[in-house]
Amino acid sequence: MAKVLIENLYKIYPAEKGRPEKVAVDNANVEIQDREFMVLVGPSGCGKTTTLRMVAGLEEISRGAIYIDGKKINEIPPKDRDIAMVFQNYALYPHMSVYRNMAFGLELRGVPKDEIRRRVDSAARTLGLLEPDNLLERKPKALSGGQRQRVALGRAIVRNPKAFLFDEPLSNLDAKMRVETRTEISRLHRHLDSTMIYVTHDQTEAMTMADRIVVMRHGKIQQIAAPLDLYHQPANLFVAGFIGSPPMNFFNGTLTASRQGTLEFVEKVPAGQTPFRCPLSAETSRRLSSRQDREVILGLRPEHLHPNSLTSGSTLEASVEVVEPMGAETFVYLKTGGHTCICRTTQVEFMDLEGKKLNLGPDLSRAVFFDPQTEAAIPA
């Protein structure tokens, strides 16, 4: 149970023949609280795994520092950091039984035999490795993917470490197993009540499991926030587009003054087409007054575009291209004057609308505005 502090962390791969210097992690600062479930998320090559591996001690720290419970661990070898790691490919020792796989780390630490037996049995019971079938004497080869995953979890649990590190632990499982294991890990987190750092490229995993999420891109941290804060108040265009599925809709346009003295968003469209205009509330207008007559990007979640809307204010006319019924809800892919956009609705009467026109009512109270130059969200 520990607090992990990442301070001005850099990973720099020096230039080699034919390859320029590469900054894999660029000045990362993260404070992970005791018992927090922190997820590092981002596209591949964003530096999330490198960061995790530096915490584990598998990767040299180029600059900066990592502290666990206030103790600087830069020069401490992995085994003395009191962390456990679950690898993407499980990394179970193929020549050892499940029992020995879990016991190995404890044996090396000189834990007494009966204590090892007790801890392994307890972990195995928690993870369902004892029932319905006792898998402890099997070799990893004789296990299914999900079972291997649970052994890998067990190996981490028995160590009772200060922090658990997960490196994309679900990416080798099929879709169904992935969802099951996801909840399993969440349950474990509550049960063990310990600090967990979890790396994934899958934003759904991040959203569903995390207490807080670190979004990374090109080695830089984009935003650190709780899942819903991230969802509703993304710090920039990248986070807005990366988090949420289907992704946020973006509209380029300008803010102009309307007759009522408030601001109005006017979509930027090719010449000859009618732009979609919509007035902002008085409060939003006040907030964005400095942006008057300047270009902005309007971001709207698919669920904040209401089809056939009766809401006041102007509507957005769009033609329906594809309708994807998901059961509980429906995704409608639309084309408006200058953009394509996605609308997500729980209404079901859109099934036969492909190719037809539809009026959309944007809920601007939920909109996020971005600066097109800096791509940052315009602060609320």
Partner 1 sequence: MMPGEHRNLIKGLVFISPWIVGFLAFNLYPLIASIWFSLCDYSVLSQPVFLGVQNYVDLWHDPVFWKALRNTVVFALVAIPLSSFLSIGLAVLLNQPIAGQGIYRTIFFLPSLVPAISLAILWQWMLNGPMGLVNNLVRPFLNIINAVCGSHLQAPDWLNDPNFALGGLILTGLWGTGQAVVIYLAGLQEIPLELYEAAELDGTSAWQRFLHVTLPMLSPVIFFNVLMSIIGALQTFAVPYILTGGGDGPGRSLLFLATYIYQNAFDYWNMGYASALALCLFVLIIALSLVSVRYGEKKVHYSGR
Partner 2 sequence: MKPTRSSVPWFTRVALILLGVLFLLPFFWMVSTSLKPLNETMKLPPQWLPSSPQWNNYPDAMRAMGPFWLYARNSLLLAFLNVIGTVFSSALVAYGFSRLDWRGRDACFFVLLATMMIPFPVVMVPIYGLFKAVGWIGTFQPLWVPAFLAGAFNVFLLRQFFLSIPRDLSEAARIDGCSEFRIFWQIILPLAKPALLTVALFQFMATWNDFLGPLIFLARENQYTLALGLQALQGTISGTPWHHLMAASTLVLLPVLVLFFLTQRTFIRGIATTGLK
Q: Interface with partner 2 by CB under 8 A: which residues?
A: 56-58, 77-79, 83-85, 87-95, 104-105, 108-109, 155
Shortest Å, Cβ 96 to partner 2: 8
- Check residue 21 for interaction with partner 1 (CB under 8 A): no
* Tokens of residue 56, six digits: 């584990």
Phi, psi of 379, rounded to the nearest 5 degrees: -60, 145
Place of tokens 């891109």: 217
Q: What is the dihedral of CA 307, 309, 312, 317, to 10 degrees?
A: 50
75 contacts 27 by C-beta, under 8 angstroms: no
Which option in partner 2, partner 1, none does residue 60 bind, with CB closer than 5 to 8 A by kind? Answer: partner 1
Shortest Å, Cβ 95 to partner 2: 4
Q: What DSSP assignment string belongs to 360-372?
A: EEE-GGG-EEE-T
- Within its chain, how far is the Cα of 360 from the centroid? 29
Question: Which CB atom, from 108 or from 310, has the smaller least distance to partner 2?
Answer: 108
Which option in partner 2, partner 1, none does residue 91 bind, with CB closer than 5 to 8 A by kind? Answer: partner 2
- Residues 250 and 201: their CA atoms lie apart, in Å, by 22
Place of tokens 């601001």: 263
- Residues 22 and 13: their CA atoms lie apart, in Å, by 5
Shortest Å, Cβ 192 to partner 1: 31
Which option in partner 2, partner 1, none does residue 79 bind, with CB closer than 5 to 8 A by kind? Answer: partner 2
Query: End-to-end distance of the chain based on CA atoms, in angstroms?
Result: 36
- Residues 285 and 264: their CA atoms lie apart, in Å, by 8
Which option in partner 2, partner 1, none does residue 83 bind, with CB closer than 5 to 8 A by kind? Answer: partner 2
Shortest Å, Cβ 108 to partner 2: 4
- Check residue 321 for interaction with partner 1 (CB under 8 A): no
- Residues 4 and 190: their CA atoms lie apart, in Å, by 18
- State whether residue 106 is helix, strand or coil: helix
Phi, psi of 249, rounded to the nearest 5 degrees: -90, 140
Question: Which CB atom, from 83 or from 334, has the smaller least distance to partner 1?
Answer: 83
Q: Which residues of 294-318 are buried (b: 16+ CB within 10 A; e: fewer)?
A: eebbbbbbbbbbbbebeeeeebbeb
Shortest Å, Cβ 172 to partner 2: 11
Shortest Å, Cβ 62 to partner 1: 8
- Check residue 174 for interaction with partner 1 (CB under 8 A): no
- Residues 117 and 100: their CA atoms lie apart, in Å, by 10
- Residues 32 and 319: their CA atoms lie apart, in Å, by 46
Shortest Å, Cβ 60 to partner 1: 4
Which option in partner 1, partner 2, none does residue 179 bind, with CB closer than 5 to 8 A by kind? Answer: none
Shortest Å, Cβ 153 to partner 2: 13
Work out the burial of residue 189: count CB atoms within 10 Å of its CB; fewer than 13 is exposed, 13-18 middle, 19 or more buried: buried
Question: Which CB atom, from 83 or from 243, has the smaller least distance to partner 2?
Answer: 83
Question: Which CB atom, from 17 or from 259, has the smaller least distance to partner 2?
Answer: 17
Segment 51 to 90, residues that bind partner 1, using CB under 8 A:
60, 62, 75
Question: Which CB atom, from 170 or from 248, has the smaller least distance to partner 2?
Answer: 170
Which option in partner 2, partner 1, none does residue 75 bind, with CB closer than 5 to 8 A by kind? Answer: partner 1
Question: Which CB atom, from 104 or from 331, has the smaller least distance to partner 2?
Answer: 104
Question: Which CB atom, from 2 or from 343, has the smaller least distance to partner 2?
Answer: 2
- Check residue 137 for interaction with partner 1 (CB under 8 A): no
Which spans of this chain sit near partner 1 (rule: CB under 8 A)? 60, 62, 75
